[in-house]
Amino acid sequence: MLALAVGATASAAPEHQAPAANPLVGSWHIAWMENQDAQGKIVRRTDRQGQLIYTPGGHMSVQVMYPEGEAQEREGPVQYAQGGYEASWGRYDLDLKRHTVTHHVEGAMVHALVGRDLPRFYSFADGRLTLRSTNPDEHWAVTWQKD
């Protein structure tokens, strides 16, 4: 599940730049997901598994596996998963001022995502990275722990 920044955008750090300049660089595993249920209550789920990777050269990939038997076809206005699995990859741009990362999807399990720009707000707390959609119609957040 993952980013459309407007204005002055800082591109992902080049290969020779130290990863410290880009706080997203590295490999992350999913800690939990939060989704809004039918009653509007935010529910934290820890039963998913996944990996998110940001490279210093501006590439990203994400994979999430949902619990067996969970109908994950569409929980919001955008379908990210299919058959209990979510996967996409491409390039990304980072806007340090706005705390956004935009995923430029080059390939995905859900073909309708290919070619889309998916903007995400990012934040850090307790050594974890949280991504949220910038789309006000999507009410989810994914929190990642660095590997």
pLDDT digits (tens, 9 = 90+) for 51-88: 999 999 999 999 999 998 665 545 566 889 988 999 99
What does the pLDDT read at residue 60? Answer: 98
Question: How many CB atoms sit inside 10 A of residue 90's CB?
Answer: 24
The helix (H) or strand (E) run that includes residue 108 is: strand 100-108
**Would you say the pTM of this structure is higher than 0.85?**
no
Cα distance between residue 73 and residue 84, in whole Å? 7
Whose CA is closest to 69, among 47, 91, 90, 87?
47
Residue 1: pLDDT above 70? no
Q: CA 94 to CA 36: how far, in whole Å?
A: 27
CA pseudo-torsion sign 88, 93, 98, 99: positive
Q: What angle do CA 133, 139, 141 make, to 5 degrees?
A: 60
Residue 47 pLDDT > 50: yes
84 φ/ψ sector (left φ>0, alpha ψ -120 to 50, else beta): left
Query: What pLDDT was estimated at residue 52?
Result: 98
Joined together, the tokens standing for residue 18 give 């130290």
Question: How confident is the prediction for the chain on average, in pLDDT?
Answer: 85
